Amino acid sequence: MNIELFEPPIQLNKSDLEFQRKIGDGAFASVWRVKNKHTGKFFALKIVQKSKVAKILPQFKREVSIMYELEHQNIVKLHTHFEDFKCFYLLMELAEGGSLFQKLFREKVFSEKIAYEYFRQILNAVDYLHNRSPPIIHRDIKPENILLNKKGQIKLTDFGWANYLSDTRYTTCGTLEYLPPEIIEEKVHDLSVDIWCLGVLLYEMLCGTTPFKANVKEMIIYNITKGTIRFPSTLSPLAKDLILKMLERSQENRITINDVKNHEWVNSYGSDELYEKFLDESTAATIIIDMSSCKSTKESFAEETSKKIDVKEELELAKNKAKTLEDKISSANCDKIKLISQEKILKKTLYDADLELQHLQMTDISSSILEKLHNIKKSNFDKDQQCKKQRFYLEKLQSNITNIDKELSIKENELKNLQIKAKSLNMGFSRIKSYKSLDISTLQINLDVMQSQLGEKSLFQSYDFSIKDIKIFMENSINQLPEFSKRDYERKIDECKEKAMEFEQKITEEAINFEDTKNRIIQSYGKIKEELMKIMRKNREDWRKDKILKENKEKKDLLKMYKEVIDRENLHGINEKNIYEANEKIRIIKENLTRSHIKIKGLRKERFRLRETIDVKDMEIDDIKFEIGKVKTISNLYHW
């Protein structure tokens, strides 16, 4: 591919460099550790494939030109570039301490002092960018884009999204969890974007995670635009204050780079170095030797010589141990290179498989079927809405029926109470009747007694009584009777009977009225039920008819589409066998993909394990080197 950038400051090519090992891999490029054959210096060589940056060539050119302009101790230096037919090659400053992301992943969280040291260096780099003319905005400050050299010094890299702030910017770019609200809302943004990124970075260093982290993309966006920031209790108030000021959602109210530099938290720590280098001189200085203890006698000399021999033996053992460790490290590095090459091949196969799947999915037939499915879903949604309306109407009618049932139950209770009252009245009437019958029987007995008395007198006396005597006798007998006569009793009994009949008539009238209202309610309930059943039957029939019509229509459309597909297949020479073979290929590719995913996971685990072992061995080598230095210093002192 014949694409050229511009003339490099130093003429160089691949033959001038010795490729040693790969130290990084990304979406657009890979990074190698190389050695200049002429000078013997080590560099990082970024290899970018032209095919991957062909569409974003102006952006890539801008990145290269910006990196050539920058000259700062905390920014990766671009020395020169060259190209061939396939790739661009950027020769940059080497930073072998890994990325800040890897260090943070290992240590989980930094103390405020260590976080301050890193933050101070990043702040210096961003301040240098913002104070240039025109100012440069980075727009992608995150732990992955911050490298460390062997001394632990920060190096800011990856200026792919960087640009000059000469005019207004609207581009949506960067990493989602580090994006400020103005970029998410596609508003005009300026240098304050980098301040927001610095706030997120400081929070992540002190808390071990980003302040807006969530499982779903939409939730992350909500947290950035509207959510609240939560801090751990261990964080100091000054650090909280600085983070909140940097993460101000309004870019007008967000603090500037100078305000950050002058903040109390930034000025509360000294400028102590983060990492110290253990040199042979310093180790020698720590050994305190009392020269006065050296004796000139033969015994002391013998003791010294025996000690010297022991030291030499220890030195030989340490050298052998270091050699074995170096062999192990070299074999581990070879295994690592093999694993990386295998991983690269698997990634390539994955990428090709994804492209093939996308190609198979992007057909007219699938799009038309999806459209039909969408229409069917829409019609089902409309039917659901109608069903919801009918359900609401039914619920309303059911509530009316429950109210009517309640009224019926109230009327039934009233009827029961009236029946109980009627029973009590009947019982009272029967009691009164029995009492009156007893009174009549006593009167009858009295009459019989009187008649018997009259009969006895008539037997013993003569029949020549005068009328006057009879009257006197009648008056006396009448006076002997009770207060009420038989007729009065009968009259009272008749009155009670009349009252009881009137009460029974009222009860029967109430029962008839209750039955009428009950029948009326039952009739209205039956009518409502019949209407509801009719409506439901009608709706069901309409839905069935609509469903049958739509199904017929869809069948016709699908048959039509099927015929069109067959015609197209006949035109292009595609048959069922070809489709079956293509499906089989896709299935095999998918199986291979799953297998390759499993292999990649296993390889990644193995690589992580190897890295851990390499780190452990490096630490052991450092200890051995320290011991060797110690031994050297002691042997030199003995020789002296």
Assessment of whether the complete model's pTM goes beyond 0.85: no
Lowest-confidence pick of 186-200, 211-225, 430-444, 501-515 = 430-444
Q: Is residue 499 domain-resident?
A: no
Lowest-confidence pick of 85-99, 163-177, 327-341 = 163-177
Q: Is residue 347 domain-resident?
A: no
Distance between CA atoms of residues 448 and 476, nearest Å? 16
The 8 Å CB, 24+ separation contacts for 233-236 are 235/206, 235/207, 236/112, 236/265
Task: Provide the pLDDT for residue 203.
Answer: 94
Residue 612 assigned ligand-binding role: no
Of 154-158, 215-219, 460-464, 504-508, which one has max mean pLDDT? Answer: 154-158
Torsion of CA 631, 636, 638, 640, to 10 degrees: -170
Looking at the fold, whether 166 and 217 belong to one and the same domain comes out as yes
Over residues 67-72, the mean pLDDT reads 91
Residue 147 assigned ligand-binding role: no
Distance between CA atoms of residues 418 and 504, nearest Å? 10
User: Does residue 118 have a pLDDT over 90?
Assistant: yes
Which H or E element spans position 163?
strand 163-164
Tokens of 243: 């983070």
The answer to whether 220 touches 174, Cβ cutoff 8 Å, is no
Catalytic-residue membership of 25:
no
Task: Provide the pLDDT for residue 283.
Answer: 32
Residue 583 assigned ligand-binding role: no
Lowest-confidence pick of 243-247, 480-484, 596-600 = 480-484
Looking at the fold, whether 51 and 189 belong to one and the same domain comes out as no
Which H or E element spans position 79?
strand 78-83
Mean pLDDT of the chain: 76
Over residues 362-368, the mean pLDDT reads 49
User: Is residue 232 reached through a cis peptide bond, with omega within 30 degrees of 0 on the bond before it?
Assistant: no
The answer to whether 528 touches 450, Cβ cutoff 8 Å, is no
Q: Provide the CATH number for the domain around residue 33.
A: 3.30.200.20
Q: Provide the CATH number for the domain around residue 232.
A: 1.10.510.10
pLDDT band at 311 (very low <50, low <70, confident <90, very high): low
pLDDT band at 460 (very low <50, low <70, confident <90, very high): very low
The rounded Cα 9 to chain-centroid distance in angstroms is 51
Residue 204 burial class via C-beta count within 10 angstroms: exposed 0-12, middle 13-18, buried 19 and up: buried
Percent of the chain exceeding pLDDT 90 equals 20
Tokens of 108: 């989980």
Residue type, 342: Q
Domain region containing 21: 1-94
Residue 158 assigned ligand-binding role: yes
Residue 145 assigned ligand-binding role: yes
Q: Is residue 542 domain-resident?
A: no
Percent of the chain exceeding pLDDT 70 equals 70
Looking at the fold, whether 6 and 142 belong to one and the same domain comes out as no
pLDDT band at 260 (very low <50, low <70, confident <90, very high): very high
Distance between CA atoms of residues 217 and 240, nearest Å? 26
Task: Provide the pLDDT for residue 454.
Answer: 55
Looking at the fold, whether 87 and 101 belong to one and the same domain comes out as no
Over residues 438-458, the mean pLDDT reads 61
The rounded Cα 308 to chain-centroid distance in angstroms is 67
Q: What is the DSSP string of 9-48?
A: SS---GGGEEEEEEEEE-SSEEEEEEEETTT--EEEEEEE
Q: Choosing from 16, 140, 494, 567, which is the catalytic residue?
A: 140
Tokens of 197: 């990124």
| Structural domain total, the chain | 2
Residue with tokens 């019949």: 530
Looking at the fold, whether 125 and 85 belong to one and the same domain comes out as no
Question: Within 263-363, where are the H helices?
Answer: 264-267, 280-286, 298-361
Task: Provide the pLDDT for residue 110.
Answer: 93
Q: Which whole-number Å values give the CA distances from 25 to 207, 359, 407, in the listed order?
A: 28, 27, 81
